[in-house]
Amino acid sequence: MPEFRLYNTLSRAVEPFAPADGETVRLYTCGPTVYNPAHLGNFRTFLFEDLMRRALRLRGWKVEQVMNLTDVDDKIIKRATEQGKTIIEVTDPIVTIFHEDRKYLRIEDAEHYPRATAYIPEMIALVEKLIANGVAYQAEDGSVYFAIGKFPMYGRLSRLDTREIQSGARVAQDDYSKENAQDFALWKAAKPEDEACGAAWDSPWGRGRPGWHLECSAMAMAILGETLDLHAGGIDLVFPHHEDEIAQSEAATGKPFARCWCHGEFLLTDGAKMAKRVGNVQNVADLRANGVSGAAVRHFVFSTHYRKQLNLAGEALEGSMEAVRRVADFAERLKEAKGGTRALEDAADLLENQVRTALFDDLNAPNAMAALFDFIRAANKELDSGGSDAGALRRAREVFAMVDGVFELVPDRRTADAAFAEWVERQLEDRKAARARRDFAAADAIRKSLEEKGVVIEDTAAGTKWKAR
């Protein structure tokens, strides 16, 4: 079996990877901050982590995955204050949406979804240990800070030059830039707005709440132990979040926090990083509304290596919708076939070898999917020849199921068709409204858009009818 290799951000190299105990990968993945529904940029990261999880299992290992839900931080408190709600009232509905969206995109359940607010005692205990070890201190503002000058290894993950950091300067906010690398808040003294929305707890340093970075370290170590096999997230978390996690965890335990760090690149829209602040956000609800299946999104995301930036473009998504229709057609044909040929069995053997080789080489999903479509072409040719080898057919089905168990590209026809029909009906309503206001250019544009997606429409006395080609 090929060696499993991953790009380790810490070493900036592709390295052999295996769980420390040879059996179970202890995997921590940074989840959403639940004040707004996660956007597609977030879900690119979550899909890369889903691919990683499935590839690790394909290699024969068990996976124990933790994906945290950040349910207390600056953004959540700001949202709660604006809406006159508690943080729980803000976050609970968003957690529900996250899990619905995750399931739509066929992202497997992690073993643990800890919420930060459920681990306050563990966070306080971690801060106490850091103070006892002489690397944290309570400042005049009542908050407790990590003294990065007391941790000589600070900056090794992000390759930050710590000589440029202003000694003793402090950063209280959760979200800061590379220019602000200074002592970071572990525990924040409570403000009136924190108390008002239920974001304050008793501690040895008075009423307060945890800093964002502290939350992940405490939850990760409480559930998975002091040294993780693998820590994954988006590239934007390398600094400051993961850098600070390493500092506070290793300063507390004296042990490596994670043996390997993996980061996925950005999703771009028109060349700009997808983020709420730049206004180019699209979310899973938009996909549903436009009849784009979870299977098509998975094909779109996995067509680009996780360490390369991915540009969200309508034509690319449409190409992925067509690709998964081909996969669905083949799955149906393979299911109904009566027999195969020796060449079909050889093609299945080749597919298994190519997919394992690609995925075990730093999760090379594009190469693995290319092998899948090569197999589909070869298999269709062999099925055309009308072979009768039951063993060959069984082998083809087995390998195809194994590969689809990683990629999940076979769409649920009923769900996909219902979503597509709903989208078409909305387009026809918009066309009807355009014609009523005599905006024939808009009506023609809608007709053209429908035709591009294979929808033929016919205006009759009883109304507009349509069918998919």
Per residue in 2-32, pLDDT (tens digit) is 899 999 999 999 999 999 999 999 999 999 9
Chain centroid to CA 116: how far? 19
pLDDT the model gives residue 287: 87
299 belongs to a structural domain: no
34 belongs to a structural domain: yes
From residue 359, give the alpha-carbon distance in Å to each of 5, 280, 300, 406.
9, 31, 17, 10
Residues 384 and 448 in one domain: no
Residues 115 and 71 in one domain: yes
2 belongs to a structural domain: no
Residues 367 and 256 in one domain: no
14 belongs to a structural domain: no
Residues 248 and 105 in one domain: yes
Q: In which region does residue 7 sit, left (phi positive, over 0), alpha (psi from -120 to 50) or beta (all else)? A: beta
pLDDT the model gives residue 178: 46
Per residue in 254-290, pLDDT (tens digit) is 999 999 999 999 998 776 776 655 555 588 998 888 8
Per residue in 79-125, pLDDT (tens digit) is 999 999 999 999 999 999 999 999 999 999 999 999 999 999 999 99
Q: Which of these, 431, 450, 451, lies nearest to 441 by C-alpha position?
A: 431
Residue 129 has pLDDT above 80, yes or no: yes
Quote the pTM value. Answer: 0.86
Instruction: Return the CATH number at 196.
Output: 3.40.50.620
Residues 148 and 250 in one domain: yes
pLDDT the model gives residue 434: 86
**Strand pairing category for 310-312 and 455-460:** unpaired
Q: Is 11 exposed, middle or buried (0-12, 13-18, 19+ CB in 10 A)?
A: exposed
Q: Which domain holds residue 374?
A: 314-407
Residue 398 has pLDDT above 50, yes or no: yes
- Structural contact between residues 252 and 133, judged by C-beta atoms closer than 8 angstroms: yes
224 belongs to a structural domain: yes
Q: How many domains does the chain have?
A: 3
The span from the CA of 230 to the CA of 233, in Å, is 10
84-91: Cβ within 8 A, 24+ apart: 85/197, 86/197, 86/198, 87/117, 87/197, 87/198, 87/199, 88/117, 88/198, 90/34, 90/35, 90/197, 91/34, 91/35, 91/115
Residue 47 has pLDDT above 60, yes or no: yes
The span from the CA of 6 to the CA of 363, in Å, is 7
367 belongs to a structural domain: yes
283 belongs to a structural domain: no
Instruction: Return the CATH number at 390.
Output: 1.20.120.640
Per residue in 139-195, pLDDT (tens digit) is 999 999 999 999 999 999 999 877 666 656 787 766 555 445 689 999 999 999 999
Residues 84 and 162 in one domain: yes
Residues 193 and 99 in one domain: yes
**Cβ neighbours for 260, distance < 8 A, ≥ 6 positions apart:** 6, 8, 10, 15, 17, 229, 230, 231
295 belongs to a structural domain: no
Residues 254 and 323 in one domain: no
Residue 218 has pLDDT above 50, yes or no: yes
Per residue in 331-373, pLDDT (tens digit) is 999 999 999 999 999 999 999 999 999 999 999 999 999 999 9
User: Which has more confidence, 310 or 274?
Assistant: 310
Residue 66 has pLDDT above 70, yes or no: yes
What does residue 91 show for φ and ψ, rounded to 5 degrees?
A: -85, -35
Residues 356 and 207 in one domain: no
In the predicted model, what is the mean pLDDT of residues 213-228? 97
Residue 460 has pLDDT above 90, yes or no: no
Residues 60 and 166 in one domain: yes
Residues 389 and 437 in one domain: no
Residues 322 and 449 in one domain: no
Chain centroid to CA 24: how far? 21
pLDDT the model gives residue 269: 79
How is residue 180 written in tokens? Answer: 């602000």
